[in-house]
Amino acid sequence: MTDRLKGMAGIRISGWGVALPEKVVTNEDLSKTLDTSNEWILERSGIAERRIGGTTSGLAVEAGKLALESAGLEPHDIDLLILATTTPDDQVPATSSKVQHELALTCGAMDVNAACSGFVYSLVAGSGFLHAGCNRILVIGSETLSRFTDWQDRSTAILFGDGAGAVVLESSSDGGELLGWDLSSSGELRDLLYCSIGGKIHMAGSEVFRKAVIAMANSGKASIANAGIAPEEISLVIPHQANIRIIETSLKRLGIPLEKAVWVGDKYANTSAASIPIALAHALDNGQVKENDVILLVGFGAGMTSASAVIKWGEIND
Ligand code: COA
């Protein structure tokens, strides 16, 4: 990344919200129809259960509404909606336009598909739009992966879930900053993880695992270097919630202790572009984010894409 593209001063996440379908599907439930077990899934992935149901736009609207409420904003205050999703309601129009209408937003709206890296891609893009003159941007990650899951395939059915997470991103002078970021794509790896139009998700699990560890570590390193800080200065990591073992191994490579990572994948599984905002909201609601904290968001996904951002948290007024 050139200096020209480095972090832009003055951002703040002023509101957040999460939406999850009510239906809980446990590992035990899956083992009734698949040749698998709770022990196998827990040991290999760290996942215990997932939520299934809803629509991508419906979950996005619910999470978006909560984010607006918690930021104390009205729909007309938002200058842009960015919806990260890999499971849109329709091929055309973009799901974001439906969400814009249902939230009564009076601004532009667009979908971003960078698979599980989509939320971080959208956050970095959102920061750029703040730099270009927007004041407040609603960034949502929303997915209904269950629609594209082959429920007869034990190697993929155990991994995915549905859900949405949203944040309001504002320009600010409270000390919050995007210190560094990194986005990448390796299109030659398409066949490792894909879903053709009208098809179901196909994945070469152990190969994806290996690539994911490298991608998370490399992207995290690049963002930390761009931020001009040392790994020890990272207070909290919000990783993509695909597999606790991927997080463990990649953080080891980054020299960051696992205790600094937020893990909610045990309850919600891999919700693709929704997983990072869901985990971030969890950390915020649990008081894990403190004033002046330096937070690393890092994800990877089909593409294969990877994305990371180092954010300095500003003042906390409550
Ligand atoms: N229950 C029981 N056994 C299973 C199983 C399941 N749900 N799924 C696969 N197996 C079997 C395999 O058939 C294989 O059997 P074999 O040795 O007789 O051939 C064995 O378990 C080992 O399979 P492998 O794929 O090597 O296991 P793994 O330790 O790599 O774990 C994943 C499998 C899918 C959990 C792991 O590879 C993974 O998480 N990969 C990354 C997936 C991911 O994150 N995708 C999303 C990217 S955004």
To the query of whether residue 131 is one of the catalytic residues in this protein, the response is: no
Give the CA radius of gyration of the chain: 18
Do the bridges between strand 305-312 and strand 294-301 make them parallel or antiparallel, or are there none, so unpaired? antiparallel
To the query of whether residue 218 is one of the catalytic residues in this protein, the response is: no
Residue 315 pLDDT = 87
**Per residue in 290-316, pLDDT tens?**
999 999 999 999 999 999 999 999 988
Residues 185/305, Cβ–Cβ less than 8 Å = yes
**Per residue in 58-81, pLDDT tens?**
999 999 999 999 999 999 999 999
Q: Is the pLDDT of residue 6 over 60?
A: no
> What is residue 315's three-state secondary structure?
coil
User: pTM of this prediction?
Assistant: 0.97
Residues 167/18, Cβ–Cβ less than 8 Å = no
Q: Is the pLDDT of residue 204 over 60?
A: yes
**Per residue in 214-232, pLDDT tens?**
999 999 999 999 999 999 9
**Per residue in 120-169, pLDDT tens?**
999 999 999 999 999 999 999 999 999 999 999 999 999 999 999 999 99
Residue 255 pLDDT = 97
Residue 3 pLDDT = 52
* Residue whose pair of structure tokens reads 């020299």 in the numeric block: 255
Phi-psi region of 14 (alpha: psi -120 to 50; beta: other; left: phi over 0): alpha
- Ligand 1 neighbours, Cβ below 6 Å, are 36, 40-41, 44-45, 116, 154-155, 158-159, 193, 203, 205-206, 208-209, 212, 242-243, 270, 301
Q: By alpha-carbon position, which residue is closest to atom 15 of ligand 1?
A: 155
Catalytic residue, candidates 27, 226, 243, 270: 270
Residue range(s) of every CATH 3.40.47.10 domain in the chain: 3-171, 177-312
Going by pLDDT thresholds of 50, 70 and 90, the confidence category of residue 43 is very high
Residues 108/125, Cβ–Cβ less than 8 Å = no
Q: How far is the CA of 174 from the centre of ligand 1 (A)?
A: 45
State the burial class of residue 92 (Cβ atoms within 10 Å of its Cβ: 0-12, 13-18, 19+).
exposed
Catalytic residue, candidates 116, 134, 195, 218: 116
Residues 162/52, Cβ–Cβ less than 8 Å = yes
CATH class of 3-171: alpha beta
CATH class of 177-312: alpha beta
To the query of whether residue 240 is one of the catalytic residues in this protein, the response is: yes
Q: By alpha-carbon position, which residue is closest to atom 32 of ligand 1?
A: 205
Residues 279/93, Cβ–Cβ less than 8 Å = no
For range 74-89, the mean pLDDT: 98
For CA atoms 98, 102, 106, 107, the dihedral sign is: negative
Atom of ligand 1 nearest to the CA of 36: 1
Q: Name the average pLDDT for the chain.
A: 96
* Residue whose pair of structure tokens reads 């040392």 in the numeric block: 230
The percent of residues above 70 in pLDDT, for the chain, comes to: 97
Ligand 1: which of 25, 44, 245, 247 to mutate, judged by most atoms within 8 Å of the beta carbon? 44
Going by pLDDT thresholds of 50, 70 and 90, the confidence category of residue 317 is confident
Q: Is the pLDDT of residue 104 over 50?
A: yes
Q: How far is the CA of 165 from the centre of ligand 1 (A)?
A: 27
Residue 318 pLDDT = 64
Q: Is the pLDDT of residue 46 over 90?
A: yes
**Per residue in 14-36, pLDDT tens?**
999 999 999 999 999 999 999 99
